[in-house]
Amino acid sequence: MTESSFLLLALPLIAALIGWATNYLAIKMLFYPHQPKIIFGLTFHGVFPKRQAQIAQRLGELVANELFSIKDVAKKMEDLSTQPEAMEEVGKRIEKTIRGKLISAFPMLSMFLSDEMIEKVTNLFKGELEDFLRASAQGLAVKMEETIDVQALVREKVQSFSASKIEELLIGFMQQEFRFIEKIGAVLGFVIGCVQVALVVSL
């Protein structure tokens, strides 16, 4: 095999290596260097460390406006606290308290508290408690909206992350995607190398 033939056969492999290395370095440059470094007059700084403040701001806005709502949390609390199953258990507890502790404390009440009366009193207390829980949840929602700034909490949390922590989080759930990008670089490089070989041979 002549030297020129060997180079032609090696060209796709070299191009694949270059494609893989290029994408690998591009992914690494998303995170490195953590601090700005000046090389030959050019400043290099990882994309995520450099844009951490802007990312934190946008993420805070996204969570506060699109993903997490204090009103939704309060509504869920209200629904959970007043759902039929919960109120049924509350009614049973009220009836048990009336029949047990209340009559034990005031035996004379047994003369007036028939089963029908106990049921009415139970339903009355249950209804009042349900209204109280609903009003409390609504009041809590107002108080939470006044005192909790979801956007600021998320922004401050993300800004407090170290560059290493951000890298760890992103690679943790995007590792497969990053590997795929590296492989695609190698595949595209190989294809381009094959095209170059074909063009050279055809001349």
Q: Domain range for residue 188? A: 3-202
pLDDT top residue among 57 and 20 = 20
Q: Does the structure show a pLDDT above 80 at 134?
A: no
167 vs 111, higher pLDDT: 167
Segment of 9-13, 20-24, 46-50 carrying the highest mean pLDDT: 20-24
pLDDT tens track for 140-153: 777 777 777 777 88
CB 150 within 8 A of CB 60: yes
Question: The whole model's pTM is what?
Answer: 0.56
Q: Which of 51-60, 72-81, 105-114 has the highest mean pLDDT?
A: 51-60
For the cut 60, the answer to whether the pLDDT of residue 170 exceeds it is yes
For position 36, what pLDDT does the model report?
Answer: 83
Answer whether residue 21 shows pLDDT above 90.
yes
Answer whether residue 121 shows pLDDT above 90. Answer: no
CA 119 to the chain's CA centroid: 47
Question: Based on the number of CB atoms within 10 Å of its own CB, is 46 exposed (0-12), middle (13-18) or buried (19 or more)?
Answer: buried
| pLDDT of res. 38 | 84
Give the 3-state secondary structure of 50-87: HCHHHHHHHHHHHHHHHHCCHHHHHHHHHHHHHCHHHH
Measured between alpha carbons, how far is 14 from 78 in angstroms, rounded to an integer?
64
As a whole number, mean pLDDT of residues 163-185 equals 84
Closest listed residue to residue 140, CA positions, set 79, 90, 84, 78: 78
Domain count, the chain: 1
Q: For residue 128, give the 3-state DSSP assignment.
A: helix
Residue 97: how many CB atoms within 10 A of its CB? Answer: 13
Q: Can you tell me which residue has the tokens 């089963």? A: 115
> How many CA atoms are closer than 13 Å to the CA of 126, on its beta-carbon side?
23
- Would you state the structure tokens that stand for residue 166, as one six-digit string? 């951000």
Query: How many CB atoms lie under 10 A from the CB of residue 11?
Result: 18
Average pLDDT over residues 120-133: 79
pLDDT band at 17 (very low <50, low <70, confident <90, very high): very high
41 sits in the region (left: phi over 0; alpha: psi -120 to 50; else beta) called: left
Q: Is the pLDDT of residue 65 over 90?
A: no
User: DSSP 3-state assignment of 148?
Assistant: coil
Q: What is the rounded average pLDDT of the residues 22-41?
A: 86
**Is 43 in a helix, a strand, or coil?**
strand
- Classified as helix, coil or strand, 30 is coil
DSSP-derived letter for residue 111 is G
Mean pLDDT over residues 14-29, rounded?
90
107 token code pair: 């035996």
